[in-house]
Homo-oligomer: A and B are copies of this chain.
């Protein structure tokens, strides 16, 4: 964990600069000016242990996606303090995690050919950086870049298991041709898929089914490549719902998931976690009352929470978030129902009485979507929830976030 300021990263030509890394001084959650993001490290550790145990039972390696926390400090909890395998969503993350000692990184967004020089630079630093693609065009670019640079660029072919964003269907005619182009350049590493549909599967059985479908798609694609005489080392699957639902991952070599480190209201709505597993919240302060409308107004708007309203599509719409007191205890019926840039509006539902919260009262709002809410902040004030519910939890450390591309 960061306990002292570290220098600002140097600007890189053609990219946006990253935030400075410094550690604001705060004794408790009563100290920093609001709004700010808080992580309960106790819940984070518990969430991490739960999925690690599952992966061990399923006899599959775990490659957590760090796109949610985007924090090398948080990632230190993933593999008992050592920099283990991770998945990233941007090259800025890959570079920051390489700086933090990680040497086994999968960049799980289809590669834009102009970004290959940054991938090669990481490779030259001793990082095994896997890239992803789903077209012959991209494969030709990767093969050419590997040959010209004399580096190995281990590459995964993206498989589409359920009709979300990128990938080839497992039975796509072009699959083996892409595999061959990569193999001839020494770059074929395997296949990767992501069950995007699992976020819309609302029962445990539907999520198990999504996990089986995800596994079947990846294993089938790997089988077709092997049948064509091509070596497949990695068969990678994962999403937070399917990682927690899978009952048999035969043929799969690694499991990815990211959101589970913090969880959020969308995941609780899907039944993947309980509300008391949510490790990320945003501390806000009451700045006004509108009794004529039944509103409490806070200084945390969408800039602090993000515009994400993932639960709007679920059975229980949680607005912009559920509201707890500063200790973390949920206040029954209190919901953040509206947001402008720097204002949040809290209202009571389900017949609850609007609580009496004077100007200056600090509250913690649990977000719809941890990935989106975390991205609105430069870092996290970290508390240890295992100490029980105290009025103003002590701040143990500050974890800066990686941002930009």
Interface residue ranges, A against B (CB under 8 Å): 5, 8-9, 11-26, 31-36, 67, 89-91, 109-115, 118, 134-135, 137-138, 141, 160, 163-166, 169, 196, 285, 287-290, 292-293, 295, 297, 299, 302-304, 306-309, 338, 340-343, 345, 358-360, 369, 371-372, 375-379, 400, 403-405
Which B residue sits closest to A358, measured CB to CB?
A: B137
Asked whether, in the complex, the Cβ of A342 is within 8 Å of the Cβ of B90, the reply is yes
Which B residue sits closest to A309, measured CB to CB?
A: B307
Please tell me how many copies of the chain the complex holds.
Answer: 2
Residues of B within 8 A of A375 (CB): 303, 376
Shortest distance between the CB of A5 and any CB in chain B (Å):
7
- Most chain B CB within a 10 A radius of its CB, from A33, A141, A293, A297: A33
Top 3 A-B pairs, shortest CB-CB distance = A11-B22, A307-B307, A110-B287
Asked whether, in the complex, the Cβ of B118 is within 8 Å of the Cβ of A33, the reply is yes
Asked whether, in the complex, the Cβ of B307 is within 8 Å of the Cβ of A89, the reply is no
Asked whether, in the complex, the Cβ of B340 is within 8 Å of the Cβ of A288, the reply is no
Q: Given the interface contacts A297-B110, A302-B372, does A20 sit within 8 Å of B18 by beta carbon?
A: yes
Shortest distance between the CB of A105 and any CB in chain B (Å):
15
Residues of B within 8 A of A8 (CB): 8, 20
Residues of B within 8 A of A369 (CB): 307
Docked Cα-Cα span, A163 to B91, in Å, equals 45
Docked Cα-Cα span, A285 to B138, in Å, equals 13
Q: Given the interface contacts A24-B12, A24-B13, does A299 sit within 8 Å of B109 by beta carbon?
A: yes
